[in-house]
Amino acid sequence: MANHKSAEKRNRQSQASRLRNRVNKTQMKGAVRKVNEAVLAGSVDEAKEALKIAIPVIAKTATKGSLHKKNASRKVSRLTKSINKMQAAV
């Protein structure tokens, strides 16, 4: 437990940012999950629509600082790659 006034404040700030990060990451994970489910189902159109929704959500999460910029870029790249691979197979 924090013993100094500044440490107590830092603890409060950490808790607040943790909750913000959690909300952002949860929304992002939901968007990514919808894309992955559409890819597994094999529906190209549904996957593309889900990706159009997911990309801004992932970018927003990175902008807020809940996720590293390169991590967000990698997620978008991998999702796009999976859709393109599925589309080529069909």
Give the pTM: 0.87
Q: Where are the domains of the chain?
A: 5-89
Determine the length of the chain: 90
| pLDDT score for 1 | 75
Q: Which ranges constitute the DSSP H helices of the chain?
A: 5-41, 44-64, 69-89
- The three-state secondary structure class of 1 is coil
Task: Give the single-character DSSP code of 66.
Answer: S
Degrees (nearest 5) of the Cα angle 17, 2, 7?
55
Q: What percent of the chain has pLDDT over 70?
A: 100
pLDDT value at 25 more than 90: yes
State the fold for domain 5-89.
Methane Monooxygenase Hydroxylase; Chain G, domain 1 (1.20.58)
Task: Give the single-character DSSP code of 71.
Answer: H
